[in-house]
Amino acid sequence: MSPATFERKAPTEHERELLAKSGRLLPCGVRNASFTPELAMVIRDARGSRITDCSGNEYIDYLLGSGPMFLGHAHPSVVKAVRAQLEKGTAYLMISEPAIRLGEAIVEAVPCAEQVSFHGSGSEATFFAMRLARAHRERDKVLKFEGAYHGMGDAVLMSTQWTRQPADFPEAVPDSAGIPGHVRHDVLIAPFNDIETTTAIVEKHANELACVIVEPLHRTIPPRDGFLEALRQVTAHYGIPLIFDEVVTGFRLAYGGAQELYGVTPDLCALGKTISGGHPLGVVCGREEIMSHAAPERMFSGGYVRLTGTFSGNPVSCAAALAILEELKKPGFYEAVNARGRRLRAGLESLLQATGLPAQVVGEATVFQPWFTREALVDHRSALTADSGRNRKFVDLLLRRGIVKAHEKFFVSAAHSDEDVEITLAALEEALAELRESESAPPPTTAPRARG
């Protein structure tokens, strides 16, 4: 496949029927790669770096299930491990050997991890990390950064908005109807990468704060030199637990995640996505002093935190995770995938530059994002200057050339080959040329509207 040979087949009748049914039955619609109805698709299967729709169109996939497929889709050793576990049963509630072995592997890998708890998703992991911190500090308020996404919990679905005006710091703005009105009063919002403002908020509210939660790579915006260190310092000074949300960065930026790459160790960490390669799993890990609030012995001595669920420590997800960690530990794994990611990113950067459009790429080697703005990207408000309409067009132009990407990130996997990168760069070149052309063309002349 190349962009020259990729010709998107029109949806078959079967796919059209499925799309119509989904429109009727699934009100939130399951995510599509494009907002353009004409480009809607239903996925049939995925393998390696490729994903195929029900009409037989095969795309190179940089969405990767929103990040978890770091080894690519249906990796043979993961499929083998999952198949073997399926034969042994899929849910016990009681603890199993895969869960214990995975706990041990996480403690070895993640700098802050002394103890571990298992959950069903990244949203659950951030939710339970904050509950642990609240119990430990005996305080309720949470400080999060504007624009940071920590999943669907009521307390964190605040001030991630793209469509509304932000409020003055530290006021929180709920991002969804249905969140009880009182919740936002327990949430404080700070600007990422601005340590002066953040410190002032922490100092003012130190006695009310249960924790500070941060994506160490804020969406795709890297921390400024010294920002995470200073955040660590001020939270440690007041004894406020610092939570790293490493649902995206854990095991992706490095085997020990962002805390290894950036050299800053939080008190607690939430993991998801990459660790289990698309199998439902969320993880909280961190200092024993805080994690041990979940120990049943505390049930009668106070401070006990309930953390369990039907899928906690699910043996299939844990077996998948163990197989994935074996692959990630192979010598040269990160060097190879990072090199491929950097090559794609550098190519994207120079193609964007050649268009003369205001644009830049930010992020790390295997997770990065093009932004159509010249403004230095340091936080949510600078990201709001980007031209989202142009980005939408760009995503559609790529999809028409056989490349699937979210409206935000490019996720690169170990399954993306050099040939995939070549094909993608050629598609990017064509898509950007068309984008440029469409914008320099005079607007279509329209007949004056009849008054009626």
Contacts with ligand PLP, residue ranges (CB under 6 A): 66, 121-123, 126, 149-151, 215, 245, 247-248, 272
CB of 205 to ligand PLP, least distance (A): 23
* 9: nearest Cα among 48, 43, 54: 54
CB of 245 to ligand PLP, least distance (A): 5
Beta bridge partners of 268: 243, 286
**Taking the mean position of all CA atoms in its chain, how far away is CA 73?**
17
Rounded to whole angstroms, how far apart are CA atoms 122 and 119?
8
Closer CB to ligand PLP, 57 or 314, in the complex: 314
Is 312:121 a contact under the CB 8 Å cutoff? no
* 373: nearest Cα among 358, 362, 361: 358
Question: Is-catalytic flag, 273?
Answer: yes
Does residue 332 come out as left (phi exceeding 0), alpha (psi in the -120 to 50 range) or beta?
A: left
The tokens describing 312, both together, are 């906690």
Closer CB to ligand PLP, 139 or 219, in the complex: 219
Is 155:201 a contact under the CB 8 Å cutoff? no
Closer CB to ligand PLP, 273 or 390, in the complex: 273
Closer CB to ligand PLP, 113 or 357, in the complex: 113
Total Cβ atoms within 10 A of residue 438: 11
Q: Which of 61, 186, 194, 245 is an active site residue?
A: 245
The tokens describing 330, both together, are 């192979």
Q: Which of 141, 144, 273, 405 is an active site residue?
A: 273
Is 364:219 a contact under the CB 8 Å cutoff? no
CB of 66 to ligand PLP, least distance (A): 5
Residue nearest to ligand PLP (CB): 122
Question: Is-catalytic flag, 45?
Answer: no
Is 44:37 a contact under the CB 8 Å cutoff? no
DSSP structure string for 70-115? TT-BT-HHHHHHHHHHHTT-S--SS--HHHHHHHHHHHHH-TT-SE
Closer CB to ligand PLP, 241 or 402, in the complex: 241
* 413: nearest Cα among 70, 132, 95: 70
CB of 33 to ligand PLP, least distance (A): 16
CB of 183 to ligand PLP, least distance (A): 17
Q: Which of 59, 149, 262, 334 is an active site residue?
A: 149
Buried b / exposed e over 55-75, threshold 16 CB at 10 Å, is: bebbbbbbbbbbbbbbbbbbb
* 280: nearest Cα among 124, 94, 92, 112: 124
Rounded to whole angstroms, how far apart are CA atoms 328 and 58?
27
CB of 436 to ligand PLP, least distance (A): 31
Is 112:269 a contact under the CB 8 Å cutoff? yes
Amino acid at 237: H
Closer CB to ligand PLP, 191 or 402, in the complex: 191
CB of 40 to ligand PLP, least distance (A): 21
For residue 378, what are the contacts with CB-CB under 8 A and spacing of at least 6? 192, 193, 194, 221, 224
Closer CB to ligand PLP, 249 or 391, in the complex: 249
Question: Is-catalytic flag, 149?
Answer: yes
Closer CB to ligand PLP, 65 or 358, in the complex: 65
CB of 213 to ligand PLP, least distance (A): 9
Active site residues: 149, 245, 273
